Amino acid sequence: MPGPFVVTGLIGRKRDGGELRQDEIAWLIAAYLAGEVDDAQMAALLMAGVIQGFSVQEAVALTEAFVASGDRVDLGGLHGPTVDKHSTGGVGDGTTFVVAPLLAALGCQVAKLSGRGLGHTGGTLDKLESIPGFTVDLAADRFRDQVNDIGLAVAAATGDIVPADKRLYALRDVTGTVASPALIASSVMGKKLAGGAQHVLLDVKVGDGAFMPDDAQGIALAKLCVSIGNAAGRRTGAVVSDMSQPLGDAIGNALEVALAVETLRGEREGRFRRLCLDLAASALELTGVPADAATQRAREALEDGRALERFRRLVEAQGGDPRVVDDPWSVLPRAPVVRTWSPGDGVIARIGCRRLGELAGQLGAGRRRQGDRVDPAVGLELTARVGDAVSAEEPVVRIHARSDADADAIVSELAQVVAVQDEPTDPVELVHARVGVG
C-alpha cells in the first residue's frame, strides 16, 4: 500500500476544499480496512467531501480503490453477454426482481452485486432476505458458477468482493454522508467493475425520494458513472428516472418482493412494470439488440412467464422457499397490524416520497444504526400517484405495522405527506433522461 499519510492532514485538506491525490485515496481506503484509520476519522473525511465536493479524479480513484480492496469476479467464458443493472436507490424500487430474471430469460448472463438499505431507501439484499431461506452471501466462485448455470445471481458485495464499499456504505448510512455524486458513483461503479459484467445499465433516480434531488444533478451522476464504466472498458448506459413519488405500490421488504412476484405473474400494471420493461430493454440494447426489438423481446419474456420461471430458479439456487413464486403470501412474513388511510376526496397533488421512505423505516423496514436488523414484514402500500382521483372511501395508504402504536404514529403523519386538491393535475413523467442508451 502507498503512504503512510497523516490522516488528520488529509481530513483537514478536504475540509478546506482541497483535493486528494490518487495515491492518498488508495492508502486511505486500504488503511481504513486495515483498522489504521478509524470510523470517526473516515466519517469526518466523508462529511468534508460531501460538503466541499469531490473531483472526477477523486471519484475515479475511489472507484479504483474499492475494486482493489477485494476480489474481482471473472465472468470470462460464459456464453451470452454478461449484464448488470443497478439503481442508485429509491423508495418502492425493487426492479431488480423483475429486470434480472427478464434479462436472464432473454439469454443474458446477469451477475448482480447488490446493497442493503441506505438512509430512507430500501436495499435489494434486505428485500430478498424476506424470502425464508434465501442467502445473499455467495463467494465469488459460487456467484460465477450460478450465473453460468441459471443465467443469474444476486448477491452481497460482501466478504471478498469490494469489502471497502461494504464498510463505507454502512458508515455513510448512519453519518449523513450518502448524498454525494462521487461517493455514490464510486460505490456503484466499484461494485459493477468488480462484478465483472461487460454491460452495465444504471437506473439513476431523481427527485425528493432519491439521493439526487433534480434532473441536473441526476444527469451529472449518470454521466459520471457512465464515464467511469466506459473508461474501464464496460459498455455502460443510464436511465434517469423519477423518484418524486414511490416507484412501486409497495414500500417494505416482503411487500416489495410480493409486488415483484405479482408483476412477474402478470397480475400488476402501472409505473413499476413499465420501468422494469424499459430497464430490461435498455440493458438489452447495450448488448447490441436494436431498441424496437429489445422492447418487444422484453415484453414477450414477461408476458409468457419465462421471466417468472427464471425468478423461481434464482430463489431455488440461493436456498429460498420457491413457493414464494406461486403464492407469495404463503411464505412471506406478514405484519400483525394492517391499517388503512385516505387523504379524502380529490386529486393527488403531492406525495412526500422521502418521508414515506422514512416512515417505512420508522415502522422497522430500514436501519437507524449500523447492524440494526430490519423487520421484513412491515411497510406501506400506496395505491395512487400524483394526478390520480381518489375518494375518502378508498384507502390510498395501507400501513403494515408491528403494533397499533406504530400504526397510530404513521397515521398521525400521513396528512402532511400525501395531499389532495380539487383541480386536475398531470401525472409525472417516469423517465426523465437517458445517457448512453436510447
Would you tell me which residues interact with ligand URA (CB under 6 A)? 88-89, 115, 118, 178, 183-184, 187-188
d(CA 252, CA 365): 6
Taking only Cα atoms into account, the Rg of the chain, rounded to an integer number of angstroms, comes to: 21
Short-list 147, 152, 154, 178, CA closest to 165 = 178
Nearer to ligand URA, 297 or 367 (CB): 367
Nearer to ligand URA, 223 or 268 (CB): 223
- Whole-Å CA distances, 280 to 11, 258, 338, 420: 41, 20, 34, 34
Nearer to ligand URA, 75 or 183 (CB): 183
Q: Write down the least CB distance from residue 306 to ligand URA, Å.
A: 28
Q: Write down the least CB distance from residue 186 to ligand URA, Å.
A: 8
- Whole-Å CA distances, 144 to 26, 27, 95, 241, 293: 27, 29, 22, 30, 28
- Of 85, 144, 172, 223, the active-site residue reads 172
**79 catalytic per annotation:** no
d(CA 71, CA 67): 8
Q: Write down the least CB distance from residue 134 to ligand URA, Å.
A: 20
Nearer to ligand URA, 168 or 261 (CB): 168
Q: Write down the least CB distance from residue 293 to ligand URA, Å.
A: 30
**86 catalytic per annotation:** yes
- Whole-Å CA distances, 360 to 87, 130, 185, 224: 19, 15, 26, 31
- Of 69, 114, 187, 227, the active-site residue reads 187
**120 catalytic per annotation:** no
**191 catalytic per annotation:** yes
| β-strand pairing of 431-435 with 397-401 | unpaired
- Of 84, 93, 126, 165, the active-site residue reads 165
Question: In DSSP terms, which residues pair with 433 in a beta bridge?
Answer: 240
- Of 69, 84, 85, 86, the active-site residue reads 86
Helix %, strand %, coil % of the chain (to 5): 45, 15, 40
Q: How close are the terminal C-alpha atoms of the chain, in Å?
A: 42
Longest alpha-carbon distance in the chain: 66
Nearer to ligand URA, 127 or 312 (CB): 127
- Mapping DSSP to helix (H, G, I), strand (E, B) and coil, where does residue 142 land? helix
- Of 14, 85, 144, 191, the active-site residue reads 191
Q: Write down the least CB distance from residue 90 to ligand URA, Å.
A: 9
Q: Write down the least CB distance from residue 191 to ligand URA, Å.
A: 6
Nearer to ligand URA, 171 or 433 (CB): 171
Residue closest to ligand URA (Cβ): 187
**14 catalytic per annotation:** no
Residues catalogued as catalytic: 86, 165, 172, 187, 191
